[in-house]
Structure 1
Amino acid sequence: MRTLLNVIWVVLGGFWLALGYFVAGIIACIFIVTIPAGVASFRMARYVLLPFGRTVVKKPGAGAGSKIMNFLWFIIAGWWLALIHIGTALAQTITIVGIANAWVSLKMIPVTCFPFGKEIVSSGGVL
């Protein structure tokens, strides 16, 4: 079932969302100082490309560094990636099948805005 949901997700907008994260990651890696943000963006691109069967959990031991990076991330990239999620969700609601995907896209916004201090893990089973 996850595979089917992931295929529908990719067709109805997941590819474009993942591409946005990938571009953000490339831009962040251009500057040496922002490589951690680039790595986080690539991690999110992988999650956004195939979200079903994965979940986001808080990373134990994440401290002040995560909060500082989340603040910088939100200012530099988080807000516009969240806008892309909102736009994608609006476009997905055109079809009945897309309504469920729109809900998933909206549920990703908190981790989109503040990815540091979180970990993406498998929900169990084979992805």
Structure 2
Amino acid sequence: MNLIGNIIWIIFGGFFVFLEYLVGGLILCLTIIGIPFGIQCFKLAFVALAPFGMEFQSSERPTGCVSTILNIIWIFCGGIWIALTHLLFGILLCITIIGIPFGMQHFKLMGLAFTPFGQEYSRK
């Protein structure tokens, strides 16, 4: 079921979300300061390419307050807009019964896009 959901996701917009994260990551990596944020964009790109069957959890590794500080900077420098975009697409997709599974994936991506530092993902 995850394979079918991911194929439909890619055909109907998931590939464009992947490309947006990828281009954003490349632009952020042009500066030394933006490299950590660009790496998070690359992680988000590959999660957004096939979100069905992915699980997110807080990192087990001790990072101290670094991930919190980076999440705060991320939120103010664009993370809030990315999360709001996923929220809007999730609401629009949940209007129809067929779109509910895809809307739920946008809600899942919204949480990850809001605070990506200190998060790990894995396949079910």
* Greater helix content: 1
Which piece of structure 1 moves more, 8-17 or 85-94? Answer: 85-94
Amino acid at match of 2:38: G
SS state at 1:119 partner: strand
Query: Per-residue deviation at 1:100?
Result: 1.4
Secondary structure of 1:32's aligned partner? coil
Deviation at 1:51, TM superposition (A): 0.9
Partner of 1:79, secondary structure, is helix
- What whole-Å deviation, never above 9, does each CA across 1:49-103 have from its counterpart, x for those lacking one? 1011221111111321100110111111211211221232244345432121112
Q: Secondary structure at the match of 2:121?
A: strand
Q: In the alignment, which residue of structure 2 is the partner of 1:51? A: 51
Q: Which ranges of structure 2 fall in alignment gaps of 5 or more residues?
A: none
Aligned pair count reads: 123
Q: Which has the higher contact order (CA 8 A, sep 6+)?
A: 1
Q: Percent identity?
A: 35
TM-score under structure 2 length normalisation? 0.88
Deviation of the 1:107 alpha carbon? 2.2
1:1-127 equivalences under 5 Å are 1-60=1-60, 61-93=62-94, 95-123=96-124
Q: Which amino acid aligns with 1:92?
A: L
TM-score with structure 1 setting the length: 0.86
Kept after mapping to 2: 8 A contact 1:56/1:118 = yes
2-structure distance, mates of 1:75, 1:27:
17
